[in-house]
Amino acid sequence: MDVLRRKPHPLVLGLLLAAVVAAAGAGLANNHFTFLLTGAAVSTVFMQSYGLITGRAGVISLCQLSFAAIGAWVVGWANVAGLPGGFYVWLLLGGLAATVAGVLIGLPALRLRGVNLAVATFAFALALDVVFTGIPYPGQGNYNFVQRPAGFTTDSEYFVFTVIVVTVIFIGLRQLDRTRTGGALVEIRHSERAAAAHGISVAKGKLTAFALSAFVAGVGGGLMAGQLGIVTAGNFAAFASVSFFAIALFVGTNNIEGAIAGGLMGALFPVLLDALGVPQDLAVLFFAVGAVQVLRLGGSQTDLIRAGRRRKKAARRGSLPIPHANPKPIVPLRLRAPRDTADATPALEVRDLRVRFGALTAVDGVSLVVPRGHVVGLVGPNGAGKSTLINAVTGFTADYSGQVLLNGRRVDGVAAHRRARLGLRRSFQQLRVPEQLTVGMFVQVAAGRTLSGEELDEQLALFECPAADVPIDTVDVATRRLLEVAGLAAGRPPVLLLDEPAAGHSGTETELLQRRLAEIPERFGTAVLLVEHDIELVRSTCDSVVVLDFGRVIAFGPPDEVLADPAVIAAYLGSAAH
Ligand SMILES: Nc1ncnc2c1ncn2[C@@H]1O[C@H](COP(=O)(O)OP(=O)(O)OP(=O)(O)O)[C@@H](O)[C@H]1O
């Protein structure tokens, strides 16, 4: 993914520099100060773990310090047992043990969201508190302190070691952010339905977030064991998890500067309160107020600062969006006459589909065919059942009767994300493009495959979207809609269902969409079912049109014929036609 390759983050370089400076000054530093800074570095690792699960994947977890406790206890046990490999191996083992716990907690938590998930993870944290309070820490009885790694045995040297670990984790997280898995986590946070529509398994994504974040927390716990020599259950109390969660939410620890700020706050704020004679427990109150601010402002401090900077930068650049320089000339395909649908093989077939909401039959025995290489329009007045039909076809409404066949194979009973992977892709009426991603990353995620830099640039140019590295939150809504179609088409699925892709478009944008929609079958080998209220767009791009009214098909055929049908005019076009 060479297009997503960037320079090393200045803060990563800064951290490495800090480690070198600290190494040079080893022995000169004040012991207590070094101890506090090491604590801040360890807390930064905890914050990185929150940045993964909550900041990136949007999953509430109140038990990250329990994973840290597991990491710390494994390191303590390995130290006492004299496990070969030394501290480095023990630290990794601690991380891996925490990962196992992360998966075990993540599995039952997959069905939970919001408050329920918070309660479940907090209950786990409390349970682990009780377990660890009852067992002495390995080596506690005979003061068998954890052996730090060679070369990092003094406090100053160990501080350098913790900074190196923090830096390595930052680099790892940055790499993750550049992969489609990283993009998928962000999309899950933004909209689980959109993620599923792009073929992403939300369950797998959340489980990955639990596993990776538990690994990072476990490593953090192991680091703490190395710092303190012997830890106790009190170092990882359930309430500490809650305060760290609140800090993470407030500062936004998915961002590198947020994780560092959060680490400093988590380690130093209680010490500051203590110095001022204020009970340390009150720290959690301050952090909770900060977390509530996030709900009010709609974003963490670092997210808001970053978004503000991006907008300023975009404003300085002047024109938004910036059309990307096209590496290859696009050969425009002529808007052609409607293709003959009679003999074409069906890409999508819907047979006698029925969806009921209580007493209301929203889709009432609809049968239709979208042939390969064709664009079929699906129109009808508001409430006719168009979106409900798309939801059922793509598996977002599982409760329907009838049959859906993709390339002749029945997909009923197949989950939405699996249908998407089989090639039944869709967009939503309400735009669901995550603002946190760059244009390029979104296209990769929506396509469900990794595009080469050249292919990505070409696709963006084709849809006149901004360059791959432009953040989506600096792009206007109409361009985001085009971007969504560009991303979905880039996946070259056999069938694409577009739900009002021209909503909110100006004349110029609709014109571009019109040209691109007409070309999609030839360019991408994709058959399209287009739901649109813009009748001229339907007329100019579709090979055939299906008209729904009160959940039933009232007309089907070539666009000009169908749209001139008096029954259709009466049901739908009415005043607009006259
Ligand atoms: N989840 C739901 N629960 C109950 N009724 C629903 C639900 N979703 C849709 N409906 C009803 O089903 C009918 C069809 O709605 P649907 O959104 O599919 O229509 P539509 O043709 O897409 O309309 P529009 O063009 O306004 O988007 C409407 O009467 C709507 O109120």
- Measured from the Cα of 533, ligand 1's closest atom is 25
552-557: strand order across its sheet: 424-426, 495-499, 527-531, 375-379, 544-549, 552-557
Greatest distance between any 2 Cα atoms in the chain:
93
Which of 537, 480, 487, 543 has the alpha carbon at shortest distance from 514?
537
| Nearest Cα residue to atom 7 of ligand 1 | 357
Pocket test for ligand 1, best of 353, 356, 387, 547 (most atoms within 8 A of CB): 387
Q: Is the CB of residue 311 less than 8 Å from the CB of residue 473?
A: yes
**DSSP H or E segment with residue 547:** strand 544-549
CA pair distance 424, 172, nearest whole angstrom: 33
Q: Is the CB of residue 565 less than 8 Å from the CB of residue 378?
A: no
Tell the CATH topology of 11-295: ABC transporter involved in vitamin B12 uptake, BtuC (1.10.3470)
The tokens of 372 are what? 């390969």
548-566 burial, b for 16+ CB within 10 Å, e for fewer? bbbbebbbbebbeebbebe
> What one-character-per-residue DSSP string does 82-142 give?
T-TTHHHHHHHHHHHHHHHHHHHHHHHHTT--HHHHHHHHHHHHHHHHHHHHHSPPTTTTT
ipTM value: 0.96
| Nearest Cα residue to atom 2 of ligand 1 | 357
Which residues on adjacent β-strands are paired with residue 410? 405
> What's the one-letter identity of residue 547?
V
Q: Measured in angstroms, how far is the CA atom of residue 382 from the centroid of ligand 1?
A: 8
Q: Measured in angstroms, how far is the CA atom of residue 356 from the centroid of ligand 1?
A: 10
Which residues on adjacent β-strands are paired with residue 556? 546
- Measured from the Cα of 357, ligand 1's closest atom is 4
Which residues on adjacent β-strands are paired with residue 346? 371
- Measured from the Cα of 390, ligand 1's closest atom is 18
Query: Which pLDDT belongs to residue 429?
Result: 86
> What's the one-letter identity of residue 401?
S
- Measured from the Cα of 391, ligand 1's closest atom is 18
Q: SS3 of 200, please?
A: coil
CA pair distance 233, 221, nearest whole angstrom: 11
Q: Is 379 exposed, middle or buried (0-12, 13-18, 19+ CB in 10 A)?
A: buried
Query: Which pLDDT belongs to residue 531?
Result: 94
Pocket test for ligand 1, best of 356, 364, 386 (most atoms within 8 A of CB): 386
Three-state SS string over 21-61 comes to: HHHHCCCCCCHHHHHHHHHHHHHHHHHHHHHHHHHHCCCCC
Query: Which pLDDT belongs to residue 327?
Result: 40
- Measured from the Cα of 384, ligand 1's closest atom is 21
Q: Measured in angstroms, how far is the CA atom of residue 362 from the centroid of ligand 1?
A: 7
| Helix-, strand-, coil-residue percentages of the chain, each rounded to 5 | 60, 10, 30
| Nearest Cα residue to atom 3 of ligand 1 | 357
| Nearest Cα residue to atom 5 of ligand 1 | 357
Which of 407, 420, 405 has the alpha carbon at shortest distance from 352?
405
- Measured from the Cα of 388, ligand 1's closest atom is 18
Q: Measured in angstroms, how far is the CA atom of residue 442 from the centroid of ligand 1?
A: 28
Q: Measured in angstroms, how far is the CA atom of residue 398 from the centroid of ligand 1?
A: 15
Q: Measured in angstroms, how far is the CA atom of residue 388 from the centroid of ligand 1?
A: 6
Pocket test for ligand 1, best of 354, 355, 357 (most atoms within 8 A of CB): 357
| Nearest Cα residue to atom 10 of ligand 1 | 362
**DSSP H or E segment with residue 553:** strand 552-557
Q: Is the CB of residue 471 less than 8 Å from the CB of residue 303?
A: no
| Nearest Cα residue to atom 31 of ligand 1 | 383
Pocket residues for ligand 1 (CB within 6 Å)?
357, 360, 362, 380, 382-388, 429
- Measured from the Cα of 355, ligand 1's closest atom is 12
| Nearest Cα residue to atom 4 of ligand 1 | 357
- Measured from the Cα of 389, ligand 1's closest atom is 18
Q: Is the CB of residue 374 less than 8 Å from the CB of residue 339?
A: yes
Map out the domains of the chain as residue ranges.
11-295, 346-577
26: left (phi over 0), alpha (psi -120 to 50) or beta: beta
User: Whole-model pTM?
Assistant: 0.82
Superfamily of 346-577 according to CATH: P-loop containing nucleotide triphosphate hydrolases (3.40.50.300)
Q: SS3 of 262, please?
A: helix
Phi, psi dihedral angles at 12 (to 5 degrees): -65, -45
pLDDT in 10s for each residue of the chain, 578 residues: 444 445 555 656 666 666 656 655 555 556 778 888 899 999 999 999 999 999 898 888 888 999 999 999 999 999 999 899 899 999 999 999 999 999 988 887 777 777 777 888 888 888 888 888 788 788 777 778 889 998 898 888 899 899 999 999 999 999 999 898 999 999 998 899 999 999 999 989 999 999 999 999 999 999 999 999 888 878 888 888 888 888 888 888 888 899 999 999 888 887 787 777 777 667 777 777 777 777 777 788 888 888 888 888 877 765 444 444 444 434 344 355 666 666 678 999 999 999 999 889 999 999 999 999 899 999 998 889 999 999 999 999 989 999 999 999 999 989 999 999 999 999 998 888 888 899 999 999 999 888 888 889 999 988 889 899 898 988 888 889 899 999 999 999 999 999 998 887 777 778 888 888 888 888 899 999 999 988 888 888 899 999 999 999 999 999 888 888 888 888 765 544 44
CA pair distance 434, 459, nearest whole angstrom: 19
CA pair distance 270, 148, nearest whole angstrom: 26
Pocket test for ligand 1, best of 354, 355, 360, 388 (most atoms within 8 A of CB): 388
Q: Is the CB of residue 404 less than 8 Å from the CB of residue 413?
A: no
Query: Which pLDDT belongs to residue 505?
Result: 74
